[in-house]
Amino acid sequence: MDKIRAVFNWSGGKDSAHALLRAMETGCYEIVALLTTVNRDTHRSTMHGIPLSLLEAQAASIGIPLYIVDLTPEGNMEDYSSAMLQAVQHFKTLGVTHFIFGDIFLHDVRQYREQQLVPYSIGVVEPLWGKSSEQVMEDFLSSELKTIVVTTMNDGLGAAAIGKLIDRDFVASLPAETDPNGENGEYHTFCYDGPIFHSPIPYCLGEPFSQSYDINLDDGTTKTYTYWFADLKEE
């Protein structure tokens, strides 16, 4: 039976690595690329802040080519949609029929992906979908994937959580209102070792740094959000 040609949407973090592992284990997919979005100015992934050099190191160790979607720093959803459309058209010419994601339960996010991809006959695959956040975290902790926290919200976990290993102690320490997987944006991670890699990814942590962003809300007001990032570098 022929395998399904697919692109994996890669963030470099915990849920992404977890979903890739589960997709690989099915044996159903020929994953032709790891697609990631990178800020054109900082050369870091757009949400997790992982340097491009480490994303490239991850892809090399996994053994799947990295495909970079280059975004401007001030990019909005229209810019993102346009860049993703170019990627979809590129991969359609290579016979790709499915895109794989690491979402867990955010229905609006999945609906957006389907609205963008289904018109181009690209199916959406979500290996982690349908389980509770607690079940997904338990499955992750049993997977032998190793990740650290690299991004947090200032009014949430803050700078103190940067660099922490995602293990049972970390999960037990989370405030009651925090989703165990950080699915509501409480934290993002960098995966550096585990079954998907041929060898661990060497990295080092500098001092955490913060950045603030002004976000235009639907009611016409602007709100400032501050995030902490790991100064993550190649070792």
Are the CB atoms for 37 and 119 separated by under 8 Å? no
Highest mean pLDDT among 64-68, 85-89, 205-209: 64-68
Does residue 75 carry a pLDDT above 60? no
Which one-letter amino acid corresponds to residue 105? Answer: F
Give per-residue pLDDT as tens, 87-146: 999 999 999 999 999 988 777 778 888 888 988 899 999 999 989 999 999 999 999 999
197 closest CA partner among 58, 55, 68, 41? 58
Q: Which residue has the tokens 């902790």?
A: 141
Are the CB atoms for 146 and 191 separated by under 8 Å? yes
More confident residue, 20 or 85: 20
163 closest CA partner among 153, 173, 179, 152? 152
User: Distance between CA 177 and CA 168 in Å, rounded?
Assistant: 17
Average of pLDDT values for 36-54? 87
The beta-strand segments (E) located in 46-139 are 66-71, 98-100, 123-125
Q: How far is CA 153 from the centre of its chain?
A: 16
Domain count, the chain: 1
User: Distance between CA 11 and CA 44 in Å, rounded?
Assistant: 11
User: Distance between CA 174 and CA 177 in Å, rounded?
Assistant: 8
Note the pLDDT of residue 76.
62
Give per-residue pLDDT as tens, 143-164: 999 999 999 999 999 999 999 9
Verdict on whether the full-model pTM lies above 0.85:
yes
Note the pLDDT of residue 230.
93
Are the CB atoms for 167 and 196 separated by under 8 Å? no
Domain with 102, as residue range(s), is 4-234
Least confident of 10-19, 77-86, 196-205, 225-234: 77-86
CATH code, domain carrying 158: 3.40.50.620
